Amino acid sequence: MRDFSRVRRIVVKVGTNLLSSGEGIDEGRVRDICRQIAELKNMGYQVILVSSGAVGLGARELGHRNKVVHIPLRQACAAIGQPILMSHYREAFRKEGVITAQVLLTRNDLNNRKTYNNLRSSVSTLLSLGIVPVFNENDVVSIAEIGTAFGDNDRMSAMVASKIDAQLLVLLTDIDGLYTGNPKKDSSAVLLDEVDEVTDSIIAFAKGAGSTFSTGGMKTKLLAARIAAMADCATIIASGYSPDVLVRILKGERIGTYIHPSIRLTQRQRWIINNSHSGAIVIDDGAVEALEKRHSLLPSGVTGVSGAFESGDVIQVRRQDGRLFAKAVTGYDSTSLAMMMGHRSSELDGLLGEGHKDCIFRPEDMVVIDDSSL
Ligand code: GLU
């Protein structure tokens, strides 16, 4: 059952496809989205908008007709397009009597606890002032190639929802929700009304579904829903073309696909899961068993170290066969770990000098995950 009784904060994400018309930005669509958000505010909700579209608008301004793939040019397009995008939102929100604000994020801003706490408090201030913040990835400085990017705005919107304790994430796209097959090709494909958990078999439906032209597509939306679910935030994937979609959803109409929230992880656990990892270690089966029993990880169970990381970084913990087992905050840097691995605790003084603890991380510094997308 869809339950919106505890919803107070909502993150709404709109993709490039939805905002584009043949001519450029679809001003009617922007106005419509802003009108609906203003109505949600009147219903008592706090709303954050995550909007794509900067790269496309910048490209158009430069006269490019095709998708821009060259990274520095994409970044230039984002820098050109972002103020254009915001000017449309500012104008449309102004008509509704709503003040808007721009927030540009990189993944590092959420990874780093200090910048993340700053973000939380500035966004809370904006929301308490009745302002609708419009988020986008700071594409000018963050690119996937240097590991600082979210990758797509679906993922970013889920991480934002998770970090600012939203109870509902609405991903507006150009199809009605998640179908069991490709509705354009398969007449037996049905729209899923509710999904309890984003399992691999649910993600398999996304492959066949009529995908959008945006960066994301249905699979990234489901992975985003999975991130949101871990923060006890429900997700709805719905078509932004359906009239009054946001307002009707919050009034309880069964539109789109509703993905249930799952167990709530603590802020620290979510921070560990959503943090990009700096490296990885491989552990043997005995260590997996010990960690499952909530013991600390000792050097003797470590069989491999890869990447360069510092003490305090988030690392992946992999099984012997390479499968991801957990993410954890390491107490040792990669160089020390490479020296310590496979050794008994009693041998550590001889290897590293006196006074080193044998614990690499404690159970509370680790979250077991079985999901290679994280
Ligand atoms: N940040 C990109 C933009 O504004 C879009 C990323 C996405 O489509 O997910 O154009």
Of 38-42, 61-65, 194-198, 271-275, the range with the highest mean pLDDT is 38-42
In this prediction, residue 210 carries a pLDDT of 40
d(CA 200, ligand 1 centre) in Å: 26
Residue 194 CB neighbour total at 10 angstroms: 13
pLDDT tens for each residue of 173-222: 988 999 988 777 888 889 999 999 998 889 888 874 443 334 458 899 99
**Residue 266 among known ligand-binding residues:** no
Q: Which atom of ligand 1 is nearest to the CA of 220?
A: 9
Answer for the pair 10, 45: CB distance below 8 angstroms, yes or no: yes
pLDDT band for position 147 (cuts 50, 70, 90): low
Answer for the pair 4, 163: CB distance below 8 angstroms, yes or no: no
Mean pLDDT in the chain?
Answer: 89
Q: Which atom of ligand 1 is nearest to the CA of 55?
A: 10
d(CA 154, ligand 1 centre) in Å: 9
* SS3 per-residue string spanning the chain: CCCCCCCCEEEEEECHHHHEECCEECHHHHHHHHHHHHHHHHCCCEEEEEECCHHHHHHHHCCCCCCCCCHHHHHHHHHHHHHHHHHHHHHHHHHCCCCEEEEEECHHHHHCHHHHHHHHHHHHHHHHCCCEEEEEECCCCCCHHHCCCCCCHHHHHHHHHHHCCCCEEEEEECCCCCECCCCCCCCCCCECCEECCCCHHHHHHHHHCCCCCCCCCHHHHHHHHHHHHHCCCEEEEEECCCCCHHHHHHCCCCCCEEECCCCCCCHHHHHHHHCCCCCEEEECHHHHHHHHCCCCECHHHEEEEECCCCCCCEEEEECCCCCEEEEEECCCCHHHHHHHCCCCHHHHHHHHCCCCCCCCECHHHEEECCCCCC
pLDDT band for position 268 (cuts 50, 70, 90): confident
Phi, psi of 183, deg, nearest 5: -65, -20
| Atom 8 of ligand 1, nearest CA residue | 215
- Nearest-angstrom CA–CA distance, 317 and 329: 10
Asked which of 44-58, 216-230, 238-252, 276-290 is least confident by mean pLDDT, the reply is 216-230
Answer for the pair 297, 361: CB distance below 8 angstroms, yes or no: yes
d(CA 151, ligand 1 centre) in Å: 9
**Residue 235 among known ligand-binding residues:** no
**Residue 215 among known ligand-binding residues:** yes
**Residue 153 among known ligand-binding residues:** yes
d(CA 277, ligand 1 centre) in Å: 23
pLDDT tens for each residue of 272-316: 887 888 899 999 999 999 999 999 999 999 999 999 999 999 999
Question: Exposed e or buried b for every residue in 63-88, given b needs 16+ CB within 10 A?
Answer: eeeeebeeeeebbbbbbbbbebbbeb
Contacts of 372 (CB under 8 A, 6+ apart): 323, 324
More confident residue, 279 or 111: 279
Q: Taking CB atoms and a 6 Å cutoff, what residues make up the pocket around ligand 1?
A: 15-16, 52-56, 136-137, 139, 152-153, 214-216
From 137, 148, 219, 221, give the residue whose CB has the most ligand 1 atoms within 8 Å, as the site to mutate: 137
Q: Which residues pair with 361 in a beta bridge?
A: 297
pLDDT band for position 128 (cuts 50, 70, 90): very high
